[in-house]
Amino acid sequence: MMNSKILITKAVEAMEKSYSPYSDFKVGAALLSKSGKVYTGCNIENASYSPTCCAERTAFFKAVSEGEKDFTAIAVVGGKNGEISSMCSPCGVCRQVMAEFCQKDFMIILWDGKLTKAHTLEKLLPESFSL
């Protein structure tokens, strides 16, 4: 599997593109497909607030819209004003989007600027909803 450090680096680069003038909280994500391609995403906010899209969903929707449906891992980083000083754990809505396309062993890689943490999707969204 691609080195998680490379994926984290791509998430940090994506975070720089964050459009977040309302919260000033910048988030970046890098999603690795089983074919080896990386799709990045940032959070994109809106003056009307609720249309805001998280970095993770931006990455997923970019990938799925390009024909990808199989994924291995996602790296997520974020912080106020882009200062990464704690883990940025995916919100519940993004976890549900992950559950749509990923198996239980899909890896969610977090980085707080110093340490790396990796969780399975099963751990972050146990007993998830499906039809």
Instruction: Supply the Cα-derived Rg of the chain in whole angstroms.
Output: 14
Q: Is the torsion defined by CA of 32, 101, 46, 80 positive or negative?
A: negative
Nearer to ligand THU by C-beta: 36 or 50? Answer: 50
Nearer to ligand THU by C-beta: 38 or 76? Answer: 76
Type of residue at 65 = S
56 included as an active-site residue? yes
Q: How far apart are CA 33 and CA 69, in angstroms?
A: 8
Minimum CB–partner distance for residue 97 and ligand THU (Å): 10
Nearer to ligand THU by C-beta: 32 or 88? Answer: 88
Strand pairing category for 107-111 and 71-80: parallel
Beta strands in 36-88 (DSSP E): 38-42, 71-80
Minimum CB–partner distance for residue 88 and ligand THU (Å): 6
Options 13, 16, 56, 122, the catalytic residue: 56
Q: Where does this chain bind ligand THU (CB under 6 A)?
A: 20, 23, 25, 27, 43, 45, 52, 54-56, 90-91, 94
For the annotated catalytic residues, the residue numbers are 56
